[in-house]
Each structure stands twice: as structure tokens, then as C-alpha cells.
Amino acid sequence: MSLPRIVAVAPGSPAARAGLTPGDEIVAMNGQAPRDVIEYQLLADEPALDLDVRRGGLDITALIDKDSGAPLGIEVDSPVFDRIRTCDNHCEFCFIYQLPKGMRPSLYVKDDDYRLSFLYGNFTTLTRFTEADLERVVTERLSPLYVSIHATDPDVRAAMLRNRRGAISLRWLRALLDHNIEVHGQVVVCPGVNNGDVLDDTLTGVLDQYPELATLAVVPLGVSRYTTEATMRAHSTDEAARVIHQVEAAQCDFMAAVGRRVAFAADEYYLLAQRPMPDSASYDGFPQHENGIGMARAFAAAFHRATAPIPVRSGFFAALEGAPADGYRAPRTAASAAVDDVGRRPVVIISGEYGAAVLEPLIAGRDDVSVLAVHNEFFGGNIAVTGLLAGADIARALEGRSPAFRYLLPDVCLSRGAFIDGLTVDALPLPVEVVSTDGRSLRRALG
């Protein structure tokens, strides 16, 4: 078990007044060693805190008095202090197995930890979930959680996870729902494995066995050129169209039975099938926006000033005092200057190929704006989302282009100012302006 290390202390906060500094390690809070940032927060809410702190090899004590629930004023370096519960499934469709070598180590962490599901919105299969975990989730009301279902047929699910516990671990989903824990589900559809009749059975199975499920995202398999699984392949246009038909038919069944649509097909399916996206009202508030469900429609609505941008849904972590800036909360980079500061030069919007298909209708009729659709050579395969664009691919696309244009880059490409391949914006051959990835911000940048 590692100790939570303080990485930032807010000026004037109770922690600052007690003399805590970055680099200090928290040994115990009121005599208890917190296992994770969830327990840390519960302890930090206490009005009287007796902190055992390790500083440079020396153990010291800090006494803090504050109002109950008042922020302690520190940020720690990790969400989990004991150990991230790693995934022991061996799914042939797992994208982590499809990453190239030499990337930053954090990208290779394959977790199946319900705490990260609660904190970040990560999906868990529940194959490592226990009675003790259920007791904690229910007692502390760790809700919502996000569960990978993939198939409700036990044999199909076990085969997909390559883990025999996959056949029975959805019993924990039933237990969570019985205790009124909000759960959002996901089905990654693999052609030839859990599409077609199996997907129909899964949609029916969710309605029959888990009707309290908040939402169910149906998303396509992503296949990079690094996959070693010969059976994993991209959807055809006809397969994508069938998935849409199946999901929309299931929505009718869910509406009749529980009064909610529940199941939603990812935007990628509509792009692959060359079908128009459903209208905004069809997404019931965009609860799985960050999973690519309704993202295109929400972007377009915000671009046309019809709605405010949909906020990033990052579990409970975004509001958690002391939470490290990781995952969805990782800083991207500062926003670009306003259009008045950069003049009225022609604009080029950098995007992945899927993003370009969404953007081009929005700028139709504007001669001063174009879209640069960047092909993802870094991952290859069918990877075409903007968020997985590598710096090297963007640099290649910008080579030889005119510096007289303004180049807008959506910040979804970045984490802590770096692309997924480690390159930074400064390494690109032309200056770019980083814009928040929402329709309103793009509209404002275009002027």
C-alpha cells in the first residue's frame, strides 16, 4: 500500500495553515489509513483532523480544526492508495492489447476496479467484485457505476471475456440494482461474436433481467493495426445499419415496459451506416455523452446556440476535493485566444475522420472555414475518432500547408498538453489554437 502524496496545497486553506506542503505523505487521518480517495474524502470532511504525515523520512503530526465538510485544501497524487484492482479478463477486443509499444506506462494499466468506475466513469466487468465490495458500495452509496455487459448469455459473455467468472459476474449487477445503485451499461459489439441474434438476445435479456438499468450504450469494436486477434474486424455498412435497427426496436420495447429508451447506439454506427443522427430529444439528456452516445448531436446543438455544451461526465471525481487531476480530469491545455485577437484569417479545423463528417455540414456555405480530416496512421485499422489522433499524424497532415491560415485543434486530442504519442503542440510544424471540444467554443473561435 502506497501513501497518498500531497501534490498541491491551496493558499490560505486549513491544510496550508497547518503547515502541510507538497511532497508530504499522509500516513493516517484520525488514526485511519485511507485506502483510496473516497475514504480520504470521508475523513477529510471531519471538523477535527489529526494527520500523521511523513516528510523527508520524518513522521510529524498536524492538527487541523475546520468546519465540518469544509475543504481541507490539498490535492493528492492518486485515486487509489492500496492498489488498483487490475483486470484478469483477456478479452480479444480489449483496446489495451492493441496499443503499440513505447507509450507512457499509464496507458497500459488494465483496470477492473469499481472505485475507478465510480470516480472516473470507467467500465468494470464485475468479475473481481466481492461481497465486501457490494457492502461498501451500498453503505457509502457509490453511485453511479458503469458496467460492461457485452452479452447476457452466460456462455457468450464468458467466452468474450475469456474468463469463466464472466458467466456469473452479472449477478453483482442484479445485486447493485436491487440496492438502488444507479448503473449504466455498455455492450461492445464484435462482428461475428455478439452482434446479430446475440445482440437481440442481449437487449431482450437486459429488459427481462435488469430493467432498472439507467442506460445501455451499444458501441462498435475498435480495431487497431496492432491487434493480434484474427477474428476481430470492423463492422460493414450493412452490419452497422442492422445494429441501429436493433437498438431502435429495443427502445420501443423499453419505452413500453419501463417508460425510458434505455438503449442507445453510438454515433459511429450512424456515421458508418450513413444514416442521420437521432434528434437531441432522443438521447434523454445525453447520460452517456462521453461514451460517444449523442456526442455529434449535442455538438451541433451547441454550435447552433440551441443548448449549452454538455459537461464532461466523469463520475464523482470532478467534484471530489483532493482528487488528482487524472483520467477525464487531466488538464488538456489553455484555450485559444478570442477571434478578435487573431484577426479574420481563413480557418482550418483539425479533426479525425469521424469528426470531419460531423463538422462539414455545420460549416457548409462558409468559404473561410474548412476541415482537415486527419487519417489515423498511428493506430490504423478503423480508429477514426478525434480523441485518438496522434501528434505525429497531425504533424504529417500540416506539413507543407500555408502558415497564413488559422489552425484550430480540439483539446480532446490532448492530456496534460500532450498527444497520445507523447508529442506536444509545440512540436507541430505550424502554430495551432487549442479550442475546447464543444460546439459553442468552436462557434466562438470562428467568430
CATH class of 95-327: alpha beta
Lowest mean pLDDT among 37-46, 177-186, 242-251, 323-332: 323-332
Report in angstroms the alpha-carbon separations of 329 from 211, 235, 309, 314.
31, 31, 17, 7
> pLDDT tens digit string along 299-338?
999 999 866 777 655 455 555 677 776 665 566 665 544 4
Contact 368, 399 (CB under 8 A): no
- The residues spanned by each domain of the chain are 6-76, 95-327, 331-446
Taking 50 as the threshold, does the pLDDT of residue 56 lie above it? yes
pLDDT the model gives residue 339: 44
Rounded to an integer, the average pLDDT of 180-207 is: 98
**Beta-strand relationship, 48-55 and 25-29:** antiparallel
Residue 227 has pLDDT above 50, yes or no: yes
Percentage of residues of the chain with pLDDT beyond 90: 81
What is the pTM for the complete model shown? 0.91
Q: Is the pLDDT at 359 greater than 90, yes or no?
A: yes
Q: Which residues contact 392 (CB under 8 A, 6 or more apart)?
A: 377, 378, 419, 421, 423
CATH 3.40.50.10860 for domain 6-76, yes or no, is no
More confident residue, 2 or 12: 12
Ordered alpha helix ranges (H), 363-415: 391-398
Contact 268, 259 (CB under 8 A): no
Fold of 331-446: Rossmann fold (3.40.50)
Which helix H or strand E contains 135, and what residues bound it?
Answer: helix 131-140
pLDDT at 121: 87
Asked if 208 and 250 touch (Cβ cutoff 8 Å), the reply is no
Burial letters 221-244, b for 16+ CB under 10 A, else e: bbbbeebeeeebbbbeeebbbbbb
Instruction: Find, among 181, 276, 268, 172, the residue nearest to 217 by Cα.
Output: 268
| 230 φψ region: left (φ > 0), alpha (ψ -120 to 50), beta (else) | alpha
pLDDT (tens digit per residue) in 138-153: 999 999 999 999 999 9
